[in-house]
Amino acid sequence: MNRKAIVTAGVAALVVALAACDGGTSALDTVEGNRDDLRYVAPVYRMETKQVDVKQLQCKTVNKKTACKQVKVGTRAETRNVLKKSERWCVELDAVNGELTDNDRWYTVDQGTHQLASEMTEGTSIKFTPLALGC
């Protein structure tokens, strides 16, 4: 088998495998079900420290001409708070798309959808387009 045929077969196998893992529901499909639980996942920040060069402007005058350049005079530690994981809003549905046995499925949603769901009582029917499957 030549190299092109092997690569083509590999890509085809990968496409089939990814389609099989999808389970028939894309994250962009609108879903409907009975509101169950809500979850808010707070953002995660970590303090990071890195060394930063400290430079100073150094000028020399030769033959009435001044030339200046930045010269490294040392280093200093710079600490900052870095976002590692974004915040997420999630909604759990029962009876997803009318399937009474398809319960306890989590979806990541935007803040507006989460707010709307929080104003509903548990068991109320809701329809939305999730950002992602799972929470």
pLDDT in tens, 66-112: 889 999 999 999 999 999 999 999 999 988 888 888 888 999 999 99
Number of helical (H) and strand (E) elements in the chain, helices listed first: 2, 7
State yes or no: pLDDT of 41 exceeds 90: yes
For residues 134, 39, 87, 82, the Cα torsion angle rounded to the nearest 10 degrees is: -110
Cα gap 123→93, rounded to integer Å: 9
φ, ψ of residue 109 in degrees (nearest 5): -130, 170
Cα gap 24→35, rounded to integer Å: 21
β-bridge mates for residue 90, sequence order = 39, 108
Which range, 8-12, 58-62, 77-81, has the best average confidence (pLDDT)? 77-81
State yes or no: pLDDT of 127 exceeds 80: yes
